[in-house]
Structure 1
């Protein structure tokens, strides 16, 4: 999906964004969905540039992060 198309899509799902989730420190993220079953993760304030994929792929990403598999990059 082109960046322009992704930006339009992110604007379309703006009503589906959940409240921000803030971990330790100042990093806050928002989760969103659309009617087609896609899931979005974005840094709060930058919802026009989300990471998007299927719900299953992003759920696995979140579970892997919680399991510590990304600790080496944090």
Structure 2
């Protein structure tokens, strides 16, 4: 599936960005970020070197949180 298919299924761009950034970036207990927060807090030096696992259920949850906010 490509990124446009996720958009067609109702996933918000902000939710996709939030989810994908969090795949390899530890940010403590905070799960949901605005784009401005991601820009402010993201640091390349903190990226994990291990492989990430895509979790559709987690993406759906993140998307729901962005819709509700």
Q: Give the TM-score of the pair, scaled to structure 1.
A: 0.26
Which protein is richer in helix relative to its size? 2
Higher gyration radius (CA):
1
Which protein is richer in strand relative to its size? 1
Answer 1 or 2: higher relative contact order, Cα 8 Å, separation at least 6.
2
